[in-house]
Structure 1
Amino acid sequence: MMVLKHKPGALKDLTLPADAQVAIVSKSARALQKVRERNKQLAGRAFRFFSGSFGMATVVNKEAFAPDARALAVLEGVRIAQEDLRRSGGAYDLDQVRTLMRGVSRQAIDKRVQEGSLLAVPGPSNHRSFPTLQFNVDGTVVEGLKSVREALPTDNPWTILNFLAQPDDRLNGRKPIDLLKQGKVDLVVEAARRMAQQGA
Structure 2
Amino acid sequence: MTPRTRTTTDVDALTQAVQARIEARVAELAAQGRRLDLGDVEDLADRMLAALPSVHPLDQPLGPFYDTSGLVAWLGISRQALFDRVRRGTVLACRTSDGHLVYPSLQFGRNGAVRPGVQEAVGAFSRRAVDGWSIGAWLTTPSEVFDGHSAVDYLVVHRSSPTAVSRVASAAVADASQWAA
Equivalent residue for 2:167?
Answer: 187
Instruction: Extract structure 1 runs of 4+ deviating beyond 6 A.
Output: none
Equivalent residue for 2:131?
Answer: 156
5+ long unaligned stretches in structure 1: 1-81
TM-score (normalizing by structure 2): 0.55
Identify the match of residue 65 of structure 2 among 66, 71, 91.
91
Residues 88 and 123 in structure 2, CA contact (< 8 A), matched pair in contact too: no
Q: Across the two proteins, how many residue pairs are aligned to each other?
A: 117
Per mean C-alpha deviation after superposition, the further-off stretch among 137-146 and 161-170 is 137-146
Residues 94 and 128 in structure 1, CA contact (< 8 A), matched pair in contact too: yes
Larger-gyration structure (1/2)? 1
What CA deviation, in whole Å up to 9, does each residue of 1:129-153 have, x standing for no partner? 1111111133332124342234345
> 1:154 Cα shift?
4.8
Are 2:118 and 1:145 equivalent residues in the alignment? yes
> 1:106 Cα shift?
0.7
Q: Relative to total residues, which structure has the larger strand share, 1 or 2? A: 1
3-state SS of paired residue (2:98): helix
What CA deviation, in whole Å up to 9, does each residue of 1:17-59 have, x standing for no partner? xxxxxxxxxxxxxxxxxxxxxxxxxxxxxxxxxxxxxxxxxxx
Q: Relative to total residues, which structure has the larger helix share, 1 or 2? A: 2
Distance 1:106 1:175 in 2: 30
> 1:116 Cα shift?
0.4
Question: In angstroms, what is the RMSD of aligned CA positions?
Answer: 2.5
Are 2:101 and 1:128 equivalent residues in the alignment? yes
Equivalent residue for 2:88?
Answer: 115
Distance 1:178 1:187 in 2: 13
5+ long unaligned stretches in structure 2: 1-56
Equivalent residue letter for 1:176: A
Distance 2:135 2:99 in 1: 18
Distance 2:141 2:131 in 1: 16
Distance 2:135 2:90 in 1: 12
Equivalent residue letter for 2:107: Q
Residues 164 and 176 in structure 1, CA contact (< 8 A), matched pair in contact too: yes
Equivalent residue for 2:142?
Answer: 167
3-state SS of paired residue (2:149): coil
Distance 2:97 2:175 in 1: 30
3-state SS of paired residue (2:115): coil
Over the matched positions of the two proteins, sequence identity in percent amounts to 31
Equivalent residue for 1:72?
Answer: none
